[in-house]
Amino acid sequence: MRYFVLIIILLLSYNYIWGQSPQKLRISQLKDNFYVYTTYKDLGGYMFPSNSMYLVTKEGVVMFDTPWDTSQCQPLFDSISARHQSKVVMAIVTHYHDDRTAGLEFLRNAGVMTYSSKLTYELCTEFNEARAEYIFTKDTSFSIGEYGFETFYPGEGHTRDNLVIWFGKQKILYGGCLVKSTENKSIGNIKDANMSEWDVSIRNIIKKYPKTKYVIPGHFDWKSNQSLNHTLNLLKQHKN
Ligand SMILES: [Zn+2]
């Protein structure tokens, strides 16, 4: 009888573990009011993760890039409102690909002020991606509530328009897809990349922000802050 019960428990837990649908949204606290959220896209049966960030301020929540999986926009909003009793008021996208921009329409309809660079806006138009409502034409500093951050365009790399976000006080660099995770073994999607300028752009970032505490890449693990150097190594490896 004991064994019978044990087998039933094992069967039930097996079903519990394997019967779950794949994870669609993961939210992790980076530090204080800074969060990394990840959504997933089914690429040939593999749930490919895409990292974005949000920051909770006294004036509301700022999002850096949108969910890739737009079905996760509402769950993300619900989670933000439940966790922080706050709502999203502003969003900035860091390049035109849909892993950054897919949720822009949802955000705009929700009354969020959405921003991109002029170049990103133009590329979104050219490649039929969702566009931000407001554009900036050069590196821009934003201040909202008690926080400040700046956009920096270091040159071409993963795409022509990729930019990074720098939170100077906290030394957090949101690198987006220009920066590869230390978990990556190769340079990845280079369909729209500039392979001769990418390493120059990474060096421009290192020169401008030599002391980073956190570096958040567009995909995969972000626990290491060595991803800028790792990206340089991957680019070198790709050249050889
Ligand atoms: Zn990407």
Give the tens place of pLDDT for each residue, 69-100. 999 999 999 999 999 999 999 999 999 999 99
Residue 14 has what pLDDT? Answer: 46
DSSP 176-239: ETTS--TT-SS----TT--TTTHHHHHHHHHHH----SEEEESSS--S-S-HHHHHHHHHHHHH
In this predicted structure, the answer to whether residue 16 has a pLDDT above a threshold of 50 is no
- pLDDT tens across 123-133, in order? 999 999 999 99
For residue 25, count other CB atoms closer than 10 A to its CB.
Answer: 16
Residue 6 has what pLDDT? Answer: 53
100 CA distance to ligand 1 centroid (A)?
A: 7
Segment 210-225 shows an average pLDDT of 96
* Angular region, 138: left φ>0, alpha ψ -120 to 50, beta rest: beta
Q: Which residue has the higher pLDDT, 67 or 3?
A: 67
Residue 5 has what pLDDT? Answer: 54
201 Cβ contact partners less than 8 Å away, ≥ 6 residues apart: 154, 155, 156, 157, 162, 178
Residue 128 has what pLDDT? Answer: 97
In this predicted structure, the answer to whether residue 12 has a pLDDT above a threshold of 50 is no
Residue 23 has what pLDDT? Answer: 84
54 CA distance to ligand 1 centroid (A)?
A: 17
Q: Report the distance separating Cα 134 and Cα 121, nearest Å.
A: 9
CA distances, 111 to each of 16, 101, 104 (Å): 39, 16, 11
12 CA distance to ligand 1 centroid (A)?
A: 38
Q: Would you place residue 7 in the very low, low, confident or very high pLDDT band (cuts 50, 70, 90)?
A: low
Report the DSSP beta bridge partners of residue 65: none
- pLDDT tens across 18-54, in order? 456 778 999 999 999 999 999 999 999 899 999 999 9
Report the DSSP beta bridge partners of residue 63: 54, 91
This prediction's pTM: 0.90
Q: Would you place residue 240 in the very low, low, confident or very high pLDDT band (cuts 50, 70, 90)?
A: confident
Q: Would you place residue 58 in the very low, low, confident or very high pLDDT band (cuts 50, 70, 90)?
A: very high
Q: What is the side-by-side order of every strand in the sheet holding 172-176?
A: 141-144, 147-152, 164-167, 172-176, 214-217
In this predicted structure, the answer to whether residue 140 has a pLDDT above a threshold of 60 is yes
Rounded mean pLDDT of the chain?
93
CA distances, 86 to each of 53, 202, 224 (Å): 15, 35, 30
Report the DSSP beta bridge partners of residue 29: 35
- pLDDT tens across 157-190, in order? 999 999 999 999 999 999 999 999 999 999 998 9
- Decide: 193 and 237 in contact? Cβ < 8 Å: no
121 CA distance to ligand 1 centroid (A)?
A: 17
Residues labelled catalytic: 95, 97, 99, 158, 189
111 Cβ contact partners less than 8 Å away, ≥ 6 residues apart: none
- Decide: 123 and 161 in contact? Cβ < 8 Å: yes
Segment 135-152 shows an average pLDDT of 98
Q: Which domains does the chain have, with CATH numbers?
A: 22-239 (3.60.15.10)
For residue 42, count other CB atoms closer than 10 A to its CB.
Answer: 10
